[in-house]
Amino acid sequence: MPIFTPFQSPQTKLRNLSALLLLSSAAWSTVLSTQAFAQAPRVPQLPQGPQGPTLPNTPNPTTPLPSTTVPSNQNPIPQVPVAQTRLETLGQLIFTDRNLSVPAGTACVSCHTAGTGFASNHGSRSGVPQGSIAGVLGLRNAMSNAYNSFIPPFSFQNRPQGVVAIGGHFWDGRADTLALQALGPFLAAAEMNNPNAESVVRKVAAAPYAALMRAEFGNDIFNNPTLAFQKLGVAIAAYESTPGFQSFSSKYDAFVQGKTALAANELRGMNLFMDRRRANCVSCHAMNPNSKDPKDNLFSQFTYFALGVPRNPAIPQNANPSFFDLGICGPTRSKPALTANVPNTTSIDDFCGKFRMPSLRNVALREAFMHNGAFKNLSDVIAFYATRNADPRRWYGPAGVPNDLPAAYLKNIVNDRPPFNRPANAGPAFTAAEGDDLLAFLRTLTDGYTTSANAVVPATPSITAPAANPRSNPFGGQ
């Protein structure tokens, strides 16, 4: 039987979980192979508090967090039962445990829910997340944690068109693995605010699922807090790699599988997305509508760019006019050392101000956009791409000069490819109507699309993007 069902009382669920924890390892394997969760990501039906599901006896934050309007999800995440392993179930329980913050009340799920594109800011409307302490804001917008199992470790690659940084987790790539990334928020003062790893492990050792941790990693796991903390990341990474976080279930996925057709405006938007001489979104957000392999449609190459995003004055650190977030160059990481494959004509300073390009899957559901959350509306993001060069005063004020990088690094802002290589007098890269088409296409990337079993799919015109221009697209067609 499942551990949890939607119709059980909280007390029954807790009793069921406690009973299961007493089973032998062999019995665990049998029981968990039949376990299913209806929601994606599959969060147990735990008691509801003011901030959502909580584990039994979980105190609420000392100060209520402001409510947030969740964008409408026209394609709700499908309720498909999927069996979980013991490790994935453990990761789920850690991911949703609101006792693992100081003060209690904030969990990983607080900033990563399906209804907000797996990236929300915990009640903050400033573009960056609020931590466990009410009013304390982070430095960067929350990143989606969906489809992250496909991100490679951080590296520098020497390509014919130049050296690129690629991979790594967080906006600056400082964590090479999903397991390492999962541990970062626990110890960040502006996030879950724990003083050290040992304090987190003590809470897990006292949690209702502590026996599950022992069953997975050994009876003495809590005797080694350093190792136990590492294993928390392993468990969360296993849960974040389940189909609930990477379902490939959008309308676009149904389209490439031949199960549905795109509307006329969606198809126009896709063609603009792929047009390397105009919008050129595909040069950073890789996709291939002619391939049925999901890995060919991740909508990111996980490379780094400085886009010239406007400064977000709501970020507390930005009250200091001399403060700048330099992405790969800090302040949340040290400048990485260039590797031996990088020619000596390249400097690490060439990467200052660059941030990793996220996947655009589920982007239409997100509450804020870009690394600093400067935009709260996806239409504004599209307008920025179309008019950054044509109307810089709209984005940077009277001076018309990018205002979120020091003068020494303005040269790192991308200007050698569409849509950012246009002279100001050339006008927008595309029209507002075309921007609406692009928005319609981006909405097809929302997971949870369903098709009728008897639907008749019209023939789709052949899809070909303009030939790649090596100068304007140094990454080629991949």
pLDDT of residue 471: 29
The CATH code of the domain that includes 98 is 1.10.760.10
Are 193 and 286 members of one domain?
no
Closest CA to 280 of 259, 249, 301: 301
**Residue 236 or 22, more confident:** 236
Mean pLDDT of 67-81: 38
pLDDT of residue 453: 58
231 token code pair: 């294993």
Tell which of 224, 245, 266 closes a domain: 245
Instruction: List pLDDT tens digits, range 310-335.
Output: 999 999 999 999 999 999 999 999 99
| The pLDDT of residue 21 is above 50 | no
Tell which of 201, 224, 245 closes a domain: 245
pLDDT of residue 36: 30
Are 365 and 401 members of one domain?
yes
Are 231 and 292 members of one domain?
no
pLDDT of residue 458: 53
Ramachandran class of 452: left when φ > 0, alpha when ψ lies in -120 to 50, beta otherwise: beta
pLDDT of residue 161: 77
Residue 451 resides in a domain = no
Q: Three-class SS of residue 51?
A: coil
Which residue intervals of 188-224 are DSSP H helices?
197-205, 210-217
Q: Across the strands, what pairs with 165?
A: 156
161 token code pair: 């068109």
Mean pLDDT in the chain? 83
**Residue 360 or 468, more confident:** 360
Are 124 and 268 members of one domain?
no
| The pLDDT of residue 348 is above 60 | yes
Model confidence at 90, pLDDT cuts 50, 70, 90, reads very high
Closest CA to 64 of 135, 163, 157, 161: 135
Query: What single-letter amino acid sits at 43?
Result: V
Distances (CA, A) of 377 to 69, 142, 146, 247, 368: 13, 15, 20, 25, 7
pLDDT of residue 476: 27
| The pLDDT of residue 104 is above 60 | yes
Q: Which residues contact 199 (CB under 8 A, 6 or more apart)?
A: 102
Residue 67 resides in a domain = yes
Contact 280, 472 (CB under 8 A): yes
Sign of CA dihedral 45, 49, 51, 57: negative
Residue 383 resides in a domain = yes
d(CA 122, CA 99): 16
pLDDT of residue 362: 98
Are 296 and 186 members of one domain?
no
Q: Rounded to two decimals, what is the model's pTM?
A: 0.80
d(CA 211, CA 245): 26
Q: Which residues contact 339 (CB under 8 A, 6 or more apart)?
A: 155, 156
Contact 476, 280 (CB under 8 A): no
Q: Which residues contact 238 (CB under 8 A, 6 or more apart)?
A: 85, 87, 88, 90, 91
Angle between helices 86-95 and 210-217 (to 10 degrees): 140
Instruction: List pLDDT tens digits, range 172-195.
Output: 999 999 999 999 999 999 999 999
Model confidence at 463, pLDDT cuts 50, 70, 90, reads low
pLDDT of residue 457: 56
Q: How many domains, the chain?
A: 2
pLDDT of residue 465: 42
Q: Which of 44-53, 57-66, 364-373, 460-469 is predicted with the least confidence, judged by mean pLDDT?
A: 57-66
| The pLDDT of residue 54 is above 70 | no
Are 312 and 221 members of one domain?
no
Task: Give the domain range for residue 73.
Answer: 10-152+177-245
Residue 468 resides in a domain = no
Query: What single-letter amino acid sits at 442?
Result: L
**Residue 18 or 404, more confident:** 404
SS (H, E, C) 284-340: CCCCCCCCCCHHHCCCCCCEEEECCCCCCCCCHHHHCCCCCCCECCCCCCCCCCCCC
pLDDT of residue 83: 87
Residue 263 resides in a domain = yes
Instruction: List pLDDT tens digits, range 245-288.
Output: 999 999 999 999 999 999 999 999 999 999 999 999 999 999 99
**Residue 299 or 466, more confident:** 299
Q: Which of 30-34, 80-84, 116-120, 314-318 is predicted with the least confidence, judged by mean pLDDT?
A: 30-34
Residue 460 resides in a domain = no
| The pLDDT of residue 226 is above 70 | yes
Residue 435 resides in a domain = yes
Are 112 and 43 members of one domain?
yes
d(CA 212, CA 22): 9
Share of the chain above pLDDT 90, in %: 76
Residue 162 resides in a domain = no
Model confidence at 454, pLDDT cuts 50, 70, 90, reads low
Tell which of 245, 266, 282 closes a domain: 245
pLDDT of residue 401: 98
Are 309 and 202 members of one domain?
no
For the chain, the distance separating the N- and C-terminal CA atoms, rounded to the nearest angstrom, is 45
Reply yes or no: is the peptide bond before residue 66 cis, omega within 30 of 0.
no
Are 380 and 432 members of one domain?
yes
Are 233 and 98 members of one domain?
yes
pLDDT of residue 159: 84
Mean pLDDT of 222-238: 98
Are 240 and 274 members of one domain?
no
Are 199 and 295 members of one domain?
no
